Amino acid sequence: MMHGVYKVVGTLEYRGHKPGEIFAARLDRPAESRAINRGNIILLEHIQPSLPPEYGFPDGWLSADTVQSNDAPDGASVVERGK
């Protein structure tokens, strides 16, 4: 299977995408060729999905100000001994 960018052509929806929409998907080769041959979609390009070169956690996650602690947070379960 290859990932590709496709455009829906013709008059009918394909995989829930309306005519004129562009979508990225991983289609198996027979399904892709059937859809292209009967005029449902056109292949714009094959793509190789990858992570962006730089990425980080969302804002507020693990910032430098966060105090690291191994203590259980308030309200966590307490194991009572001797009972």
Q: Does 10 bind other proteins (CB under 8 A)?
A: yes
Q: Does 11 bind other proteins (CB under 8 A)?
A: yes
**Residues 43, 1: Cα–Cα separation, whole Å:** 14
Q: Does 58 bind other proteins (CB under 8 A)?
A: no
**Residues 29, 46: Cα–Cα separation, whole Å:** 12
- Single-letter amino acid code for the residue at 80: E
> Which is closer to other proteins, CB of 13 or CB of 22?
13
Q: Are 33 and 44 in contact (CB under 8 A)?
A: no
The binding track of 20-39 with respect to other proteins, each residue x by CB under 8 A or -, is ----------xx--xx-xxx
The token pair at 36 is 């292209």
Interface residues with other proteins (CB under 8 A)? 9-16, 30-31, 34-35, 37-40
